[in-house]
A and B are shown apart, each in its own frame.
Chain A
Amino acid sequence: MSSLLKITDLHVSVDEKPILKGVSLEIRQGEIHALMGPNGSGKSTLAYTLVGHPKYEITSGTIEVDGAPLNDLDPCERARLGLFLAFQYPVTIPGVKVADFLRHAVTNIRNPARKEGEGLIPMRDFRKELKERMEGLGMDVEFARRYLNEGFSGGEKKRMEILQLAMLQPKFAILDETDSGLDSDAVRVVSEGLQKLAGPQMGVLIITHHERLLEYNVPQFTHVMLAGKIVETGDASLAHELHNHGYATVRQRHPTEAAEEQEREKTAPAATAVR
C-alpha cells in the first residue's frame, strides 16, 4: 500500500506573523507534485514546516503520514518516518566529513528505533553503496572525504542534497528550489539525478521557478501558491503556462489573495526579497 502525506488546512506563523493561511495538499508515494508561486507566497515556509523547523509554528491544521500526525514530532522523528527536504541553502558543517555524516544519517533512517551510541551500518557495505551512488550522480568519490558543504560551489551543494536523497530514499522528498542558482549543466545533472531516483516508492514535491527540473520530472499535479494559500491546482500544462506567462493571470483570477500579497509586500518588503 502506498503511503500518503496529508496536509490539512495548515496555518503557520513565523515570529507570530501568519505566513501560511490554510494549505491543504495530499501527496502519495509515486506522485510528482510541482509547487509554484511568486517570491514570498509561502513555498519555502511550507517546506520548512513539513520537516519541523522550530521557527515555523503551526497555529492550526495538521500534517499526517498515513493518518499519524506529525505536528508534534521533531525533525529527527519526521526524517525517520520518511520525510526529506533538499534544502535551498544547505548549511556548512565544518569538520564533519560527508561520509561520516551520511553513515550516521543512513543508519538512523534505516533503523528508526536506533538509540544514540548504537552501532552504525557496516563500513564496508556503506562505502560500496556510497561509491555506487556517487558514481551514478557523476560525483567524484573524493567528495566523501570533504567536510560537509565546506567550500562547495552552489552546484556541488545541490548535488550533495541529491546524493543524500539517493542514500536515504525517503517516502516523501521535498525539493526547495534545488535548481536555483545553477548553470544549465548543473540543472541537468540534478534533474537527471532526481529522475533516476523518483519512482513508485517516492512522493515528490518540487518547489521551483524553472521548467527544466519539471521537463525531466513531469508533475502529475501543479499547485500555485499565492499569499499563503494554494489557489490553483492543475497538471503539467499549468506549470508550463506559469513559466511562459508569469503570475499576472493567476493574480487576476484571485484578486483577494493578490491584494493580500500586495499588502504584505508593503509591510515587510525585506522578508520577501531575500531569504
Chain B
Amino acid sequence: MTMDVPVLEDDIGVGDYQYGFHDPTDKYVFQSRRGLDRQIVEQISEMKNEPAWMRKFRLDALDTFFQKPMPTWGGDMRDLDFQNMFYYVKASQGQEKSWDDVPDDIRKTYDRLGIPEAEKKYLAGVKAQYESEVVYGSLQEDLAKQGVIFTDTDSALKDYPDLVREYFGTVIPSADNKFAALNSAVWSGGSFIYVPKGVKIEFPLQAYFRINTQNMGQFERTLIIVDEGASVHYVEGCTAPTYSSDSLHSAVVEILVKRGGRCRYTTIQNWSNNVYNLVTKRAKAYGDSLMEWVDGNLGSKLTMKYPAIYLMEPGARGETLSIAFAGKGQHQDAGAKMVHCAPHTSSRVISKSISKDGGRASYRGLVKATHEAHHCKSNVVCDALILDSHSRSDTYPYIEVNQDNLTIEHEASVSKIAEEQLLYLMSRGMSETEASAMIVTGFIEPLVKELPMEYAVEMNRLIELQMEGSVG
C-alpha cells in the first residue's frame, strides 16, 4: 500500500553538519498522517499485525501519555508540537540480509555513514533502522549458532513471543514518564538482543538509527537480555538530515544483566540540531554483574537522557561514562541515575561536558539507596569545560539515601579554557582552533580511551568537527 508522501523541500542546507543531507521520500511504502490519536496507534499495530496484548499495551500507554503533563524541568520543549509529527514511516518493504537488496537511496546513505565498511572490519552484527523500521540486519553465523539473538524488536515479537512478553516493559513501565508512555504507544523497530548463558560476544553489535523525513518521530524500542555469565557490547549511532523544523527521537531501552553477566551500551548520538532527543534508558543489574553506559551526546537540539542502572543484588556494579557537547542552539541535559536496591553494590559516574557558542550543557544525576542497601559505594565526578562567556554549564546532583552505612562521593568542577593553556599551545605553532580542539580532546580523553579504537577515532573526529570554525 503506497501512499502519497508530501515532498519536503525546505531543507536549510547541511551547514557544518556533514550528515545533514536527506534522501527522496517518494518511494516510501507507507507514511501515517501527521498527528497522534488512537487511530494512528491502531493503524501502527495493525500494519505490524501484532498480538492483542501489544495492541492493548499501546492504547493504554497512549492514554497515559495524554494524561501525563509535560515535564516542567530540563529543557525548553515549548516548540515541540506532538500533532505536527509523523509517527510511523515505512521506507521499504522489509528487513534485508544483504546491503544489495536495500533500496538504492537508503543503501547509499548507509554507505556515506560508513556502516557496511565498519561491519566488514570490526562488528559482530549490524541493524540499520531507517525511519520507523529496520531495513538491514546481520549477525555472525557462529553467534547465531550459539543461540545469540540479534533482531529488530518487531521481528522478535513474532519470532520469540514468550521472551518478549516476559520482559517487555518490565524495566521501564509505560507510565514511567511521559516520553516512555509515548514510546510505548507508537514504538517501532529497535534492537532485541538475547545472549545465552556464558556466551561472550567479542566484537560489538551495532545499531544505526537514521531519521530522513522532516517532522519524523522515531520511537525505537530496544530490549537486551544478557543471561548469566554472558557478555555483550552494543553500540548505537544516530544521525538525521538538517531541516528547518523539528523531528523527535524518543526511544526506550530496557536491559537486564543477569548474575555474573556484563553489558556495555555505547551511544554516539550525533543527531542534527533540529532533533528533540528524549530517551529513557534503564538497566537492571543482578548479582555480581556489570552494567556500563558509555553515552556520547554531540548532536540534537535538546537531549534529555539519564541512563539508569538499578543494582538489584549484591555484587552488582554500575558505571556510566557520559560526554556531552553543547554547541550553538543546543541544550544537552544529560546525566545518570544509579539506584542501589541491594547491599554491597557499587556505582560510578564520570561526566564530562563541553559547552561553546552559547550552548548549554547540564549534568543531572541521581544516586539513590534503599534502606536495604548497606555497604554500598558510589562515586560521581562531573567536570565541565566552558569555551566562551556566553555558553553555560549546570550541575544538578540529587542524592536520596535511606541508609547510613554507605559511601557516596561527589566531585564537580567547572573550568574555562585558560588563556595560559591557549598561549602555551599556540606558542608551539598551533592555531587557536587547533589549540582549543586539543584542549577539548584532552579534556574528554579519560572517557574516549574507554572506547574501542574505532569509536574513539570517531568521537575525536566529531569533536574536531564541532570545534572547527568555532573560535574567533
Q: Which A residues are closer than 8 A to B by beta carbons?
A: 51-55, 74-76, 78-80, 83-85, 87, 90-91, 93-96, 100-101, 104-105, 108-109, 112, 116-117, 147-148, 164, 168
Contacts and interface: CB of A to CB of B under 8 A. Distances in A.
Contacts of A104: 428-430, 434, 438
Contacts of B421: 91, 93
B423 A96 contact: no
Given A93-B421, A93-B425, A116-B468, A108 B442 contact: no
A80 B442 contact: no
A96 B441 contact: yes
Interface residues of B, number: 27
Interface in B371-429: 418-421, 423-429
Contacts, number: 86
A164 B428 contact: yes
A116 B419 CA distance: 20
Nearest to B426: A75
Interface of B: 418-421, 423-435, 438-439, 441-446, 464, 468
16 contacts: A52-B427, A53-B423, A54-B423, A76-B431, A79-B426, A79-B428, A87-B424, A91-B418, A93-B424, A95-B444, A96-B439, A104-B429, A104-B434, A108-B428, A109-B429, A168-B429
Contacts of B418: 91
Nearest to A79: B429
A272 B414 CA distance: 30
A165 B142 CA distance: 55
Given A52-B423, A80-B429, 7 more contacts: A74-B432, A76-B431, A79-B429, A91-B421, A104-B438, A116-B433, A116-B434
Top-10 shortest CB links A-B: A95-B442, A95-B445, A108-B429, A96-B442, A75-B426, A105-B428, A79-B429, A76-B426, A109-B429, A75-B427
Contacts of B424: 87, 90-91, 93
Contacts of A75: 423, 426-427
A101 B442 CA distance: 10
A95 B427 contact: no
Contacts of A168: 428-429
B469 to A, nearest CB: 10
Given A54-B423, A87-B424, A95 B443 contact: yes
Contacts of A93: 421, 424-425, 438-439, 442
Nearest to A164: B428
A6 to B, nearest CB: 20
B104 to A, nearest CB: 31
A53 B426 CA distance: 10
Contact of B442 (A52, A78, A117, A147): A147
A112 B419 CA distance: 23
A210 to B, nearest CB: 24
Contacts of B432: 74, 76
A109 B432 CA distance: 15
A185 B138 CA distance: 63
B422 to A, nearest CB: 8
Nearest to A105: B428
Given A95-B443, A96-B445, A164-B428, A55 B438 contact: no
Nearest to A87: B424
Contacts of B442: 93-96, 147-148
Nearest to A149: B424
Contacts of A101: 425, 428, 438
A51 B425 CA distance: 11
Given A87-B424, A91-B424, A95-B444, A76 B429 contact: yes
B441 A95 contact: yes
A74 B438 contact: no
Of A54, A55, A75, A164, which is in contact with the most chain B CB atoms at under 10 Å from its CB? Answer: A75
A84 B421 CA distance: 15
Nearest to A89: B420
Of B428, B433, B446, which is in contact with the most chain A CB atoms at under 10 Å from its CB? Answer: B428
Contacts of A76: 426-427, 429-432, 435
Of B429, B435, B446, B464, which is in contact with the most chain A CB atoms at under 10 Å from its CB? Answer: B429
Contacts of A112: 429
A64 B236 CA distance: 54
A54 B427 CA distance: 12
A53 B418 CA distance: 12
Nearest to B428: A105
A96 B433 contact: no
Of A87, A96, A105, A168, which is in contact with the most chain B CB atoms at under 10 Å from its CB? Answer: A96
Of A94, A105, A147, which is in contact with the most chain B CB atoms at under 10 Å from its CB? Answer: A94
Given A91-B418, A95-B443, A108 B430 contact: yes
B420 A91 contact: yes
